[in-house]
């Protein structure tokens, strides 16, 4: 239960951080925004190369790290429940 809740919190953090990257991409152009939204590899490339934010490192760490850590924790919670 605790692992699942912590994993869910981390995944919500990842969604919020990705929303910042996505907003930046749509402000740049609609085409870039849709590419970031729909192409999984391109959104990582955009995040590292073109995304500009005063706390870029924290945003990218929250997005990618939160997603991976949240997925791992929720998977562990499911495997412990079975």
DSSP 17-57: HHHHHHHHHHHH-HHHHHHHHH-HHHHHHHHHHT---TTHH
pLDDT per residue as tens, the chain (82 positions): 899 999 999 999 999 999 999 999 999 999 999 999 999 999 999 999 999 999 999 999 999 999 999 999 999 999 987 7
Helix, strand, coil share of the chain (percent; to 5): 90, 0, 10
Output the six-digit token pair for 17: 């951080």
**Residue 29 DSSP one-character state:** -
73 close to 9: Cβ distance less than 8 angstroms: no
Global confidence as pTM: 0.91
**Residue 61 DSSP one-character state:** I
């Amino acid at each position: 239960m605790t692992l699942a809740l912590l994993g869910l919190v981390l995944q919500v953090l990842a969604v919020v951080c990705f929303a910042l990257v996505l907003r930046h991409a749509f402000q740049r152009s609609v085409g870039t925004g849709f590419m970031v939204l729909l192409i999984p590899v391109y959104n990582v490339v955009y995040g590292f190369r073109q995304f500009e934010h005063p706390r870029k490192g924290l945003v990218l760490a929250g997005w990618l790290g939160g997603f991976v850590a949240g997925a791992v924790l929720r998977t562990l919670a499911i495997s412990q429940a079975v």
